[in-house]
Structure 1
Amino acid sequence: MATIVLSAVGTVLGGPIGGAIGGLIGNAFDNEVLFKPKGRQGARLSDLQVQTSSYGTQLPAIFGTMRVAGTVIWATDLQETSSRSGGGKGRPSVTSYSYSASIAVALSSRPIRAIRRIWADGNLLRGAAGDFKTEVGAFRVHPGDEGQSPDPLIASAQGIGATPAHRGMAYVVFEDLALADYGNRIPSLTFEVEADEGAVSLDRIAGELSGARLAGPASISVDGFAASGADRREAVMPLVEAFGLGLRSGADGLALVDAGAAAGTIADETLAQRVDGRAIDPIEHQGGSADGVPVALSLRYHDAARDYQAGMQRVTRPGAGRSESGIDLPAVLDPDAARAVASDRLRARWAGRARMTVRCDWRALGLAAGDVVAVERAPGLWRIEEREWEAMAVRLALRRLPGGGGAPPMGAGSGAIVRPVDAPHGPTTLLLADLPRITDGVANAPLVVAAASGGAGWRSAALFVTGASGEAVAIGRSAGRAVMGVADTVLPEGSALLVDSGQSVSVTLLAADMVLLSVDEAAVDQGRNLALLGRELIQFDTAERTGAATYRLSGLRRGLRGTDWAMAEHMAGEPFLLIEEGRLVEPLAVQGADGEAGSVLRVSAVGIGDVAPAEVMLTISGEALKPLAPVHMRARRDGAGGWTIEWTRRSREGWRWLSGTDVPLGEESERYGVEVLDGATVVRAQEVTSASWTYGADMIAADGMDGRDVLIAVRQRGTYAIGRTASLVLTL
């Protein structure tokens, strides 16, 4: 007696498919050589997304295009760079540290063609165009061919004699990868590996994994596949299970086959009517219960539309049932193909409940386990699971295949995905601004801020301050990408006392993905939508998008924080900057310097995409130190031939008038400089310590100003600077 069994461990259709590969017993092939069973299962989809560094970790063989994490096979210690900032007047010094590292990551036990995108902690590190979003000294790809040489960096660290070339293994090397964007640690990396051009057939995959001992269906292909497992059986089993393949042994060797067309027909004339002289029924039918078939089946796969992350398609069958089943397929499919595979497998399990035993005469010896046949007495197609020759009869164990059920509806979706922007870093735009203090409290040093930004792919830039000697000193990196642009229209002069609902200004931002939002009065009161336009600080409550990157701003609050003096200085093309503290850097404070009014600050920025540094020069005016110009100047006769001039003081500490009393002084003492001007000539100057001054009759006569028009100018003298002027014209 000789028995050839297709499904000794599992079943071909309706359950685990281990038997389709590992359970073919007999003289067909040496099972111990080709598919020796092991105790572990192959890798699941999640294994491809987790970066490892453990010794002995298995490396998958990549076919087509896949996203894999790989295994860290070599790394240097973290390289530390320290920088000290602060330490100026009233500020403690702060020492900050940044780190970089060089690492090698193994990706595939099979040669690859190229590396495309790379993700670090889920964010793009390298774009499709090959541009890096974070600084890296060098990047090398070793494709895994037989002529591969040792990596020069690893060889310099370990010695050329102790450095393997890793031939047959594809890996990459990063030199001095900056880690600041990843919390100063080595991030979790995943790579878009392109091992083959285009889709790869199952015939090619099975042939390579088995050393050309196993053929496969050339009609089935996948866009990518990661083969792993304890042996060849485990490596190819996910494909067998997902596509419902059978194993056929023929004159040409072993082959994985799909259902396809019938290889032959079991005709009535070949059926055995008698065995050992006794009459038999040549066909016996068996059936399984519906409860043995899951009510739903999910296929988990890699979805190219989701950047090769895991996707899932779930199909259900009608009727009662409670159990569900799932298949992990480490292959790349589109959603419609994945849904079709899941539907085929569920229908196969439903149809596979029907089994049949057929006894035939010697002519059935031409059929092999794994063949798909038709039976004249039974509808549909059947796969041969066992073939037994005994007592001059051939016994065939058959399981029904699905057929005629139609295809699932098209239009399966990939689901939503938050995809990092893949755009070139592009050039850096740098802006320096000398601002009044924008938070509560009183400043004791100028507030000079640097804002840097760029297009959609821009992330950050290294900042440098150039001293009087011409030496550029690194001061760290810029803050996050600032929302900035230029004014398209000229904003007319307005009132700093009322909400300006009649005027608007149009601005164009640096990139279309930058957004300005409308807010309510409560949000404005909390400081939202504060912006620098030219040198005036404004707030807006309405932002109307008028183009790809253009907005019309209205509902304006003008001349904020004492910048009403700048309302008359607007021009088309002047800079616009949305003030967000987390996106600003203080280059003077970083250096531990306070800066002096009248001094010149030169700052340059260099980003990954900059051919030349972006350079800006600013003469410091110290807006944060200047007392505000007085308001409500008024004059009245003193009854003795002179005039009394009065005004209302404003304060650098009085942005929110909460108590209803006078605003805080905000200076060491209250002092004002008063000047009387005849045209451009100062005819009298005097300092007073209260918010009024009398220009007496004797002063007027002494100055020769009786009957003349004069300009009375008042400036507050602060602790660190003299404020801007308030004035009125007076006819004496």
Structure 2
Amino acid sequence: MWTWDARPYPAFPTRGDLWSDGGNWRRGHWLSGRLANAPADVLIAAILEDHGIADYDVSAVDSCVTGYVAAGPGTARETLEDLLRLTGTVVHVAAGRLIFRSLASLRSSREIGTFADEDGPYVEMRRGEASERPEEIALGFLDLARAYQPGSAEAVRASAAHPRKELVQLPVVLDEAQAKELAAAMLREASGVAETARFGVAPSLLSLESGDVVGLAERPGAWLVNRIESGASRRIEARRLPARRGSLADQGEPPTPPRPPALAIASRPLVHLLDLPLPEGGQGIDGARFAVQAKPWPGYSIATSRQGGAFLERATATRPATTGWLIAALGPGPEGRLDRGNTITLRLDRGALYAISRGELLDGGNLCAVWNSTGAWEVLQFERAAEIAPGVFELRDLLRAQGGTEDAMVVGAPTGAAFVLLDAACEPLGLTTSDVGREMEVRVAPLGRALDDPATVTITATLGRRAVKPLSPVHAKAAFDAAGAVALSWIRRTRVGGDNWDGPDVPLGEEQELYRIEVGDGSGAVLVREPATPALVLTAEEQTAVFGALPAELVATIAQVSPVWGVGTARQTIFSRPA
């Protein structure tokens, strides 16, 4: 079997504005959109089987519809009659068996002569009244391109000034091009049914049976035998067959499909702009992200403007974010280990949250962000999640201060603080280094709407600094000697590539290694140094010169410095001098 197309059906082949080879699909070898169709032979067999009829032959049926909906209880004849007419199928009984055949496959098997007897002429021709034949057929169907809504296709005889209309309403699923072709075929066949012939044949033609297709001497066309009367003579009743149905490939290009209708309304979205650390594997300023939530969801365009200039398209929100708000305050917690003492209780705007395994947690799963009262976002993870009320979730076993957000964690989060799940819906805003730390307007507008649509939201924000700030050092230590000197040391962290454990140290991540150390005694006096290595020695003389004496406690605030972006997040530690 070949070829299955990765492009989504039915957008391909109907969206000719996107793909120029859509017209080839009707004549080509694609399986997309065809494997799920309802071939007429299988469909007829299924209907017969449902009604307990097992003696039939559908092998000569060659037609197809996209789908069929059983309208309700009824007989097999009621169900099949219009379907056979739609698909150009005829049926007759032979030896107690139902034989189904497509008109397109019928051929005249022989030409026979006619003769007169005492009962009538050679050939008796009957043509139905013109007033009995429809000149327009309106076919009602379920339109695949319009999400299975009712559709209608018409076929009208060109010479009809005031056409007599016949409505054929069927619970079949079709596309508009196929429906129009089938309606035209039904109209052609309606004229052929109106012409019948009665004639006598030689007694030697005993092999002639109902359902045979024959040609009549000096009579045009092919004739389908409907009835045979045997007596002193053998008389046949037949109807002339219409012209053969063509294939869909011969009907020209399909009509232009309807574009998906725009939403009647667009809601004003809830928008969160998040200044987050650089994610693992991220580049540039990928930490500046957006989360958009709305019901209904039309999709939103994200654009930014600096200093009142023109708005620049940055990104498109293609899916709603999972957002909510805390219904109970979240207190500070431990860093670097599971927080079992705190619980996040929140109400979601939509969606759900799920528990994960410990391995998935340690691999970065269930990453989320909680806003605090200072305007900073703490990045954290949760292992357990339980829905304790409709839309209300309780999150436990937390990993706090991820990505170097311990400064936001120590503040905690109040009741009503925003919550955002950091999944694929929370995408980068696409800032550049020139945007970092600069105030800008962010406009979130519904797709396909005017920029002054009431649902458009504009927010002023300053973003990008968290992604470029150096992380705070860890494991600060102090060693005091007998002379009063103190040796400070610490371990730096990195924003880039810090999860690889194979090297002797993590990458630097900044242009050069530099630190800012502030050492105080609690009285307000501060000693400032900027070493280029993760160590600093303060002699007794330096301490005495700044503090007037050797202090009993030293408050050390250590931060890594970026030559481009300045001082990063600081970590403060208190050291007590031995007695």
TM superposition shift of 1:603: 0.7
Cα distance in 2 for residues equivalent to 1:722 and 1:210: 86
CA shift digits 1:48-90 (9 cap, x unpaired): xxxxxxxxxxxx9654453166xxxxxxxxxxxxxxxxxxxxx
Which of 231, 234, 239 is residue 186 of structure 2 equivalent to?
234
TM-score (norm 1): 0.46
Change (3 A) 1:385 1:422: farther
What is the deviation of 1:396?
9.1
Q: Return the letter of the residue paired with 1:27.
A: R
The change in CA–CA distance for 1:562 and 1:230 in structure 2 (over 3 A counts) is: closer
Q: Residue by residue, what CA displacement relative to the aligned partner does 1:215-247 show, whole Å, maximum 9, x if unpaired?
A: 98x9x954579864599663486x99xxxxx97
Highest relative contact order (Cα 8 Å, sep 6+), 1 or 2? 1
- For residues 629 and 680 of structure 1, do their structure 2 counterparts lie closer, same or farther at Cα, with a shift above 3 Å needed? farther
SS of 1:653's equivalent in the other structure is coil
Structure 2 counterpart of 1:464, from 284, 288, 303:
303
5+ long unaligned stretches in structure 1: 1-8, 37-59, 70-116, 120-190, 197-203, 241-245, 251-284, 289-351, 354-383, 399-419
Equivalent residue number for residue 674 of structure 1: 517
The answer as to 2:439 corresponding to 1:584 is no
Task: Name the counterpart of 1:429.
Answer: 270
For each residue in 1:157-212, what CA deviation from the matched residue of structure 2 results, as whole angstroms up to 9, or x when unmatched?
xxxxxxxxxxxxxxxxxxxxxxxxxxxxxxxxxx845559xxxxxxx999999999
Distance 1:232 1:556, change over 3 A: closer
Contact 2:267/2:455 (CA < 8 Å) preserved in 1?
no
Q: Secondary structure at the match of 1:725?
A: strand
The alpha carbon displacement at 1:604 in A equals 0.9
Q: 1:531 aligns with which of 352, 362, 368?
A: 368
**Structure 1 residue 389: deviation in Å?**
11
Q: Which residue of 2 aligns with 1:724?
A: 569
Q: Quick one: distance in 2 between partners of 1:528 and 1:25?
A: 84
Report deviation, 1:452: 4.1
2:537 is equivalent to residue 438 of structure 1:
no
Name the CA shift for 1:205/1:709 in 2 (closer, same or farther; >3 Å). same
CA distance in 1, matches of 2:482, 2:171: 97
**Residues 423 and 583 from structure 1, CA distance in 2 versus in 1: closer, same or farther, beyond 3 angstroms?**
farther
Matches of 2:160 and 2:455, distance apart in 1: 54
**C-alpha contact (below 8 Å) 2:278/2:286 kept by paired residues:** yes
The separation in 2 between residues aligned to 1:557 and 1:629, in whole angstroms, is 18
The answer to whether residue 323 in structure 2 is matched with residue 485 in structure 1 is yes
Q: 1:453 to 1:208 in 2, by over 3 A?
A: farther
* Residue 27, structure 1, aligned to residue 126, structure 2: yes
Contact 2:475 2:491 in 1 (8 A): yes
Following superposition, the deviation at residue 515 of structure 1 comes to 4.3
After superposition, the Cα gap between the structure-2 partners of 1:35 and 1:642, relative to the gap in structure 1 and judged at 3 Å, is closer
Specify the alignment match of 1:559 in structure 2.
Answer: 401
Q: Give the alignment's TM-score, normalised by structure 2.
A: 0.57
- Tell me if the contact between 2:134 and 2:163 (Cα under 8 Å) persists in the aligned partners: no
> Quick one: distance in 1 between partners of 2:462 and 2:234?
100
Are 1:491 and 1:505, in contact at CA under 8 Å, matched by a contact in 2?
A: yes
Kindly report which structure 2 residues correspond to 1:345-494, keeping only aligned pairs within 5 A, or say none: 385-386=226-227, 425-440=266-281, 446-455=285-294, 457-468=296-307, 470-488=308-326, 489-494=328-333
Per the TM alignment, residue 665 of structure 1 is displaced from its structure 2 partner at its CA by 2.8
Give the superposition deviation at 1:438. 0.7
Rounded to whole Å, the distance in 1 between the matches of 2:138 and 2:340 is 63
Q: Which amino acid aligns with 1:458?
A: W
* Corresponding residue of 1:510: 349
1:594 aligns with 2:434: yes
In structure 1, C-alpha distance between the alignment counterparts of 2:298 and 2:523, rounded to whole Å: 51
CA contact 1:464–1:604 (8 Å) conserved in 2 = yes
Identity of aligned residues (%): 21
Q: 1:568 aligns with which of 410, 424, 438?
A: 410
Answer whether contact 1:628 1:650 (CA < 8 A) is retained.
yes
Conserved? CA contact 1:561–1:655, under 8 Å: no
Q: Is 2:127–2:194's contact at 8 Å kept on the other side of the alignment? A: no
Distance 1:680 1:447 in 2: 41
For residues 565-714 of structure 1, the aligned pairs below 5 Å read 565-569=407-411, 570-580=413-423, 583-589=426-432, 593-597=433-437, 599-608=438-447, 611-620=454-463, 622-653=465-496, 655-659=498-502, 661-679=504-522, 681-702=524-545, 703-707=547-551, 709-714=553-558
Counterpart amino acid of residue 724 in structure 1: T
In structure 2, give the amino acid aligned to 1:668: E
Q: Which one of the candidate residues 559, 562, 576 is aligned to 1:715? A: 559
Distance 2:365 2:386 in 1: 16
